[in-house]
Amino acid sequence: MLSNQTIQKLIQEIRRIAGLECSIWSQEGKCVAATSIKAKPDADSIAEFIAEFEHSGTRETIGKESLFLAEGDTAYVLAVDGTDERAVMAGRFGVSHLESLIQINRNRMDKNRFIQNLLLNDMLLVDIYNQAKKLKIPVTGKRVVFLIKSRSETESIVMETLRSLFATGIKDFITSVEEGHVILIKALEKTEDYPEVQHIADVIVDTLGMEAMVGVRVAFGTITEELKEVSGSYREAKTALEVGRIFYPQKRVLNYKVLGIGRLIHQLPEKLCEMFLDEVFEGNAAGSFEEEELTAVYTFFENNLNISETARKLYVHRNTLVYRLEKIQKKTGLDVRVFEDAMTFKIALMVEKHMRAMKEKEHSSEDAI
């Protein structure tokens, strides 16, 4: 179905060229758009014309006004206020243009369905090649998948803004397969690599933030060389977004290739995580640590295990910091001033975050049932 904006633009163009009022009606006999109230014929006339078309195939009729039918996946009736030759010419021109728009829209919808099935890995390899050929989509060439996360109510704004930024439908494709997630498949030049991809992601975040006033997070997968590999890049972008939500909430752009240890932890099975946490925390829950202890140890890690620099950042005496770190040692047996123990403790905190996220996901799934 064509958008009201597209239909309104068409009838305004007909009025501008022919100087005649006109309206467009759906196959159900409802007025979709009109240049004026005068342009609206009697609804019964439209219904009779549609019935005549279904019975005999008549595509135009001249009565009180000129009526023309545009065929396609969705049929429309164009009504022109006039019965002279000028009105007939305007109607035939309008219907021809309307049918072209219907075909373009169908092609766009076909491409969108193909891209969605491709992303979901819901196609055989032979079907990918056949459909791509039919839709004139190149099967080779560098591409990368961006996943843009926003609030569900801003999804349409995000899609429209991205369409104005990129050559969508030609080389680039924008779609959505999950509420609140917009997908951009971006074609790259042969010379473009990850620095350019990072720049594109930054531009998306900045443009949506400044022009559309929408806060988003952008994740992207690895660069692909063939169309069949696009689903893999999409899965990687999804993983990057999830890993970022758990471990790097402050980051607005997430690159699958540089997720670090967070990506590894995200793939660990629940049982292994539980065993590791029991071993490190010696039966204590991660929640047993006081806030000042966790703040001290996180800042300590950020400052490369430097006691003096950490104390300065926290505005505390060096001995106060040492006391807090020793409290952690008493609870876990780990001296975070020693590199190996520090690494073990940091990984344990990340594993605990991962476990908490998994439980929250389980609960939300149960609530949805």
- Across 32-61, average pLDDT: 84
User: d(Cα 218, Cα 197) in Å, to the nearest integer?
Assistant: 11
User: d(Cα 344, Cα 336) in Å, to the nearest integer?
Assistant: 9
User: Residue 72's pLDDT is what?
Assistant: 79
pLDDT-based confidence at residue 369 (cuts at 50, 70, 90): very low
Q: How far apart are the first and last CA of the chain?
A: 33
* Residue 59 host element (H or E): none
- Sign of the dihedral through C-alpha 47, 49, 50, 56: positive
CB 128 within 8 A of CB 228: yes
- Across 203-218, average pLDDT: 92
User: Residue 151's pLDDT is what?
Assistant: 81
- Across 189-215, average pLDDT: 93
Return the bridge partners of 253, or none.
218
pLDDT-based confidence at residue 368 (cuts at 50, 70, 90): very low
Q: Is 90 exceeded by the pLDDT of residue 280?
A: no
Q: Give one DSSP letter per residue of 145-176, joined into a string.
A: EEEEE--GGGHHHHHHHHHHHS-BTTTBEEEE
Tell me what the pLDDT averaged over the chain comes to: 89
pLDDT-based confidence at residue 39 (cuts at 50, 70, 90): low
**Length of the chain, in residues:** 369
Q: Residue written as tokens 């531009």?
A: 203
- Across 296-325, average pLDDT: 93
**What type of residue sits at position 131?**
Q
Q: Is 60 exceeded by the pLDDT of residue 194?
A: yes
User: Residue 139's pLDDT is what?
Assistant: 92
User: d(Cα 123, Cα 224) in Å, to the nearest integer?
Assistant: 18
Domains assigned to the chain: 4-105 (3.30.450.30), 120-259 (3.30.70.270), 268-368 (1.10.10.2840)
Q: Is 70 exceeded by the pLDDT of residue 122?
A: yes
Least confident of 169-173, 238-242, 267-271: 169-173
Phi and psi dihedrals of 74, rounded to 5? -125, 130
pTM of this prediction?
Answer: 0.75
